[in-house]
Chains A and B, each alone.
Chain A
């Protein structure tokens, strides 16, 4: 199976501090579903930052889609970023843009024509339970609502890799399930999913997911072999997912 993400002896330090990530070695298969767990401060966000190209590792080799992105000229990085959807831990919505425009942003950055934008955006809004709120500014939305906008924005471009940092931290259990189902639908379309979370019941929802655990900057179980027993069988509500339709 194709390896879309490869970490080889990756180390990361911020400034002159001690390394927050040490000797990270793993590789993830295309189409896989992965959870990343670990205590607060273990380095989950730091690892994801490397993955979504917000940070270069201080040592080691990082390959995305088979290409070394550490030595890569920065002019080529935007092309890679467009293939990676990100749900930031702090959402990072653009404050002066409406919910609609925030979700539409990746499509507009990619140069999608305006007539092909409204449909998918409305559909995503409905899916994350915010239909009718397209005009709302982030500041007028609750934390959970903002998080759902952030997820819609990460998912709308049907990226090859989806990276989500605590994507269900601010929503209730019911909505968390719904969002996980959305990620699963995306996964079935071929997107590799990497989710950092503390939410262990959530992990149990995905039968075929694999888990990686970070402890003080080191990866425990680097093979990702630890599998969770299937917790819930495939549900019928997946049939109506927006991502099931070809774009």
Chain B
């Protein structure tokens, strides 16, 4: 064990120590942006699933009928139907007072139901197993009771936002991929210039019977170390920023906070990113140097 370590230490001295180049800085900045983009993508993805989950199976039946008596009758009829209809989990007639309270800002504080043709609303929640065929059946039954009644899926409200969120999510995910690609490109440049800088030493060790792999490992280790340094700094900075944002959202009591809060799996992915980047860097360095060495005899 000791001798394995000391021979490794000896091998590490085959190349001169030298100053650290800009590699850790570049990787650090890219890692910072990568983690932020990834958090964005994961956060949006998570928010989308949660929104969809919250809204799944939710419907609103709108009963638009100016005549209050007819409206009440329709509500009673539909309620009776829903009591026995299959696939219905719960339903609730939205109380008129609640409707009025919600409409107050538009209609004025003293608006009254008998003066205004307010539609009646029934919040309907279907069982998860209820498919679209079931929804169509219910809709047809409701329309038989009152032809002007409408049934809206809550998920439909999400459609315009969902498109935007999805686009942003893929954009952020694309940025992550690009950033990792850039990491590879930076490593190729760094490995090539390191190889060029130590060409003389490499040639000597090569002539003493060192294999390409032995030589490539010298660079691989060094570049992986640089990358690890940068990746750690970048990730810690990004995590700090995210934590700050998160606690600010919490102070403002925004509902957004709960929505954006990442589950532990996503957090694990975020912290896996720097490890992945270091792996990419090490592998790229090895392949780059191996290729450069292959040009010699």
Interface residues of B in 1-46 (CB under 8 A from A): 3, 6-7, 10-11, 13-14, 16
Q: Mark A55-78, 1 if CB is under 8 A from B, else 0.
A: 110000000000000000011011
B297 touches A78 (CB 8 A): no
Main secondary structure on B side of the interface with A: helix
With A53-B297, A54-B297, A55-B297 known as contacts, the answer to whether A115 contacts B3 (CB < 8 A) is yes
Q: Which residues of B contact A74 (CB under 8 A)?
A: 294, 297
Measured in the bound complex, the distance between the Cα atoms of B10 and A201 in whole Å is 41
- Residues of B188-211 whose CB lies within 8 A of A: 200-201, 203-211
Q: Is the CB of A108 within 8 A of B297?
A: no
Q: How large is the interface on A (under 10, 10 to 19, 20 to 34, 35 or more residues)?
A: 20 to 34
Q: Do B209 and A109 touch (CB < 8 A)?
A: yes
Give the residue name and chain of the B residue nearest to A77 (CB).
Answer: B297
Q: Provide the residues of chain B in CB contact with A96, threshold 8 Å.
A: 16, 201
Chain B residues lying within 8 Å of A81, measured Cβ to Cβ, are: 207-209
Bound complex: CA of A114 vs CA of B7, how far in Å? 5
In the complex, what residue of chain B is closest to A79 when comparing beta carbons? B209
**Chain A contacts of B14 at CB under 8 A?**
94, 97, 105, 108
Interface residues of A in 30-58 (CB under 8 A from B): 52-56
Q: Which residues of chain A come closer than 8 Å to B148, judged between CB atoms?
A: none
A90 CB to closest chain B CB, in angstroms?
Answer: 11
Residue of B nearest to A104 (CB): B10
Instruction: Mark B residues whose CB is within 8 Å of A.
Output: 3, 6-7, 10-11, 13-14, 16, 200-201, 203-212, 214, 294, 297
A residues near B, CB below 8 A?
52-56, 74-75, 77-82, 86, 88, 92-97, 101, 104-106, 108-111, 113-115, 153
25 A-B contact pairs sorted by A residue (CB < 8 Å): A54-B207, A74-B294, A77-B297, A78-B206, A80-B209, A81-B207, A81-B208, A82-B208, A88-B207, A92-B203, A93-B204, A94-B201, A94-B204, A97-B14, A105-B204, A105-B205, A105-B208, A106-B208, A106-B209, A109-B209, A109-B214, A111-B7, A114-B3, A114-B6, A114-B10
